[in-house]
Amino acid sequence: MKIIESTDAAHAHVRRRTGKSVLVPTMGALHRGHLELIRVAREHAGNAGEVAVSIFVNPLQFEPGSDFEKYPRPESADEKFCEDAGVNLLFRPRQMYFDDRSVYVEETRLSAGLCGASRPGHFQGVCTVVAKLFNLLAPAATVFGEKDYQQLAVIRRMVRDLNFPIEIIGVPTVREADGLALSSRNQYLSADERAAAPALYQAMLRVKELAAGGENSVSKLIDVAKEVVSPAKRARIDYITIVDAENLEPLENLRPNALIALAVFVGETRLIDNLRLT
């Protein structure tokens, strides 16, 4: 496995590279969900192609007062994880931004609601760093998990609108046995909080069950989800909403392509999840 740690080295690598490259962008603290992203990347790259993983804890997507400083950075463990997973290239930049930077990439429609409403500037940071990764590593395709559904939608829109010649591949959410979506932030949860966290998935499953039974009032379905989540220990709802999966606009009544999305603080840890309803 080749490791590069500078933007100049990234450009040099791309100039010498032959074959298809598929990128898995991450912030590290790699887990079984990332392993599935790497597996899908290998499927698309082929045995002769390159699977590249980037690890960079991006300060631009952390709002003031968030967990940027304490975000886990297990560098040696992540390096071994990538090597064991058959990754060809690990891009671990030590510097991604100039001190006097003045150019950012911003999507203004799909990023307005959901997490964008409660995390101002977050998706500008995501778009900016992903655009830089695309320019530096020039992948043919990039793999993103559907757990961060809004992020996936925003990146797809950025690629479309800015004409990046890159295929965006979405990968279904990987879950624990009790339904909790895998996330690097799960390690912040105490034992009691971890026991309470599956309420998010249970709420979405209950809503999906009611929707399958004919309930189409979004307000009623959201109320049911809140009834499931609210009693969970140390749970505080940021949002629960049902949107069109294509444009992320809130719905009043269920229709094809509906998606429930939620963000809930369990203790101090903000967890997000989503599920297709129709």
Which active-site residues does the annotation give? 34
Q: What is the full DSSP assignment across 211-266?
A: HHTT--BHHHHHHHHHHHHTTSTTEEEEEEEEEETTT--B-SB--TTEEEEEEEEE
**205: enclosing H helix or E strand:** helix 199-212
**152: enclosing H helix or E strand:** helix 149-162
Q: What is the full DSSP assignment across 47-105?
A: TTSEEEEEE---GGGS-TTSSTTTS---HHHHHHHHHHTT-SEEE--S--S-TT-----
Residues 6+ apart with CB under 8 A from 194: 180, 186
Computed on alpha carbons and rounded to an integer, the radius of gyration of the chain in Å comes to: 19
Pairing of strands 269-276, 258-266: antiparallel
- Distance, in Å, from the CA atom of 120 to the CA atom of 102, rounded to the nearest integer, reads 18
Please, which residues bridge with residue 23 across strands?
52, 142
Residue 132 φ/ψ, nearest 5 degrees:
-65, -40
- Distance, in Å, from the CA atom of 93 to the CA atom of 8, rounded to the nearest integer, reads 10
